[in-house]
Copies of this chain bind each other. A is one copy, B any other.
């Protein structure tokens, strides 16, 4: 289960349509700020990208002097032309394009360093939200550029973001730069679309490259106005493949910057109108689930431990609203009881045990399922619950002695001495990764109360693992002790070793480097004392070790693993959060993220051998994991100290 507390972000999902795209204009050629802003306003643009240095004062590349005498003329325009509110919301500053911090000519390096510092200081003084930094020169070492920029970012203490301009084909350049800058949260991508390359490329072979960008912190997308083509009426439009790219990134919340000079006589407005129209027409309508979940995108949470902790009223309330899960349970119980009825004498009661009854949703689903099965048998339900607060709710619904069909038992299912055996044992003890909320440990104790023909609902569940890339999520995990990022406050306070624990997170800004593979499987069936004795012969049947081999679909950074589950409730009835077989509309679980301490680079088609362990001691359960790549990189085994889930017996 996944908590969905309200601190997760915005309210999310009031309307059923997306916000219109945020579009800015790049005023590289502007000489008069007021006039340019008027132009932006009449083109209905949301913001403007403006050179920080006034063109007349631009430095000469090979000197530390400016073109004009600094003692007579200031470096640039006065900050008093705009209010500080306007500077901080409407303007992105563009650093000088001529900067050559990795030039082989020392004087050019010195001049570039001095200029970069001065421009950054002015941008900080203005309180700009972001500066657009020129692209690292292609095919050249960019380490001094990265060093200097990183130094300024660290000094500015995250007050301002740096959008680094990167051509869409240059993922490798971005990867090198962000590694040098140590995943600074203030460094983001301004992705420049190269229209001719996009139209010339084979779409299918490019698909993985676009998907890979989904794991990167793309803040904006630069679109050249020269890549637009006039339609029959002479208005600018984008060619088909560009259109797809633009819509796809719009759906991910990326904003756009129109660059170059407009070719249409009406200036920027027709370009702005076209983009708004395109996004409005072509983007998918957000589903109810998307609206509900969007405030939780990429937001790290600690997995619940319903066995160790007692859930609160609000948590029960949220999960009870799942429109899919309980319908599937109802269907499963209905089929299971129908089958049980066929093999039972008509005068014998059918027995259902709901173990971990919470506030009663599975009891209600079982009652509905029994009714829907039109049975000739009477059905008797036991509801077992260990949380004393939830028991208050259960007893309000089914007071002792007042209901013959439903009987509430206050206590841990593992201690319970059942008075008879069950046809169906129903439970909802699954976590995002199936067994991680200790369903196997709990159900193991009650399997002996199944009749020889009885069934457990669920009867079987699988966890899944996929290697994944996500700059943001990994950087957030690393930043946990450091300060304000998109994380549940309880994580920051809890002092967990950041990389040694799984997180619950609605994965969004991420990339599957390969498809998910099955990791651990558990099933539940009637078990006699003899079975137990045989199985317990020296080995722990609830421990697991699995080795999986993955193959990278593209050059990529592995930041960790995505975890999912599927569960068979009964026969064909199942629930799943595996992306390929997701139970549509179900919202009770977000995926798991299991981080690596250090990101690992893999080449396209390179093999990754990944091992996962489920380990147990008397009073706890934990996971360990590690990875080895074909090229010989070996990660340490994660979670060697066994940070764990209390079994709490």
Task: Say what secondary structure dominates the interface of chain A.
Answer: helix
Whether the pair A76, B392 counts as a contact (CB closer than 8 A) is yes
What's the Cα separation between A400 and B73 when bound, in Å? 7
Is A17 on the interface with B (CB-CB < 8 A)? Answer: no
User: Which among B84, B359, B391 is the interface contact of A313 at CB below 8 angstroms?
Assistant: B84
Partner-binding segment picked from A120-128, A275-283, A500-508? A120-128
What's the Cα separation between A264 and B413 when bound, in Å? 53
What's the Cα separation between A312 and B493 when bound, in Å? 33
What's the Cα separation between A313 and B78 when bound, in Å? 10
Is A140 on the interface with B (CB-CB < 8 A)? Answer: no
Whether the pair A80, B399 counts as a contact (CB closer than 8 A) is no
Whether the pair A389, B122 counts as a contact (CB closer than 8 A) is yes
Is A231 on the interface with B (CB-CB < 8 A)? Answer: no
Interface residues of A in 58-103 (CB under 8 A from B): 71-80, 83-84, 87-88
What's the Cα separation between A23 and B124 when bound, in Å? 46
Whether the pair B310, A397 counts as a contact (CB closer than 8 A) is no
What's the Cα separation between A359 and B314 when bound, in Å? 53
Copy total for this chain: 2
Whether the pair A392, B359 counts as a contact (CB closer than 8 A) is no
The smallest C-beta distance from A397 to any residue of chain B, in angstroms, reads 7
Whether the pair A393, B80 counts as a contact (CB closer than 8 A) is yes
Is A267 on the interface with B (CB-CB < 8 A)? Answer: no
The smallest C-beta distance from A58 to any residue of chain B, in angstroms, reads 15
Give every chain B residue within 8 A of A401 (Cβ-Cβ): 72
What's the Cα separation between A484 and B126 when bound, in Å? 29
Is A340 on the interface with B (CB-CB < 8 A)? Answer: no
Is A15 on the interface with B (CB-CB < 8 A)? Answer: no
Interface centre among A73, A83, A125, A317 (most CB of B within 10 A): A125
What's the Cα separation between A17 and B45 when bound, in Å? 37
Is A9 on the interface with B (CB-CB < 8 A)? Answer: no
What's the Cα separation between A637 and B314 when bound, in Å? 49
Known A392-B75, A392-B78, A393-B78: A84·B121 in contact at CB below 8 Å: no
Give every chain B residue within 8 A of A126 (Cβ-Cβ): 312-313
Is A396 on the interface with B (CB-CB < 8 A)? Answer: yes
Interface centre among A76, A312, A318 (most CB of B within 10 A): A312
Interface residues of A in 308-352 (CB under 8 A from B): 310, 312-314, 317-318
The smallest C-beta distance from A533 to any residue of chain B, in angstroms, reads 35
What's the Cα separation between A389 and B397 when bound, in Å? 69
Is A640 on the interface with B (CB-CB < 8 A)? Answer: no
The smallest C-beta distance from A275 to any residue of chain B, in angstroms, reads 31
Is A240 on the interface with B (CB-CB < 8 A)? Answer: no
What's the Cα separation between A71 and B349 when bound, in Å? 25
Known A124-B312, A312-B124: A392·B74 in contact at CB below 8 Å: yes
A–B complex contacts, Cβ < 8 Å, 8 sampled: A74-B399, A75-B392, A79-B389, A79-B393, A84-B314, A124-B312, A483-B489, A484-B489
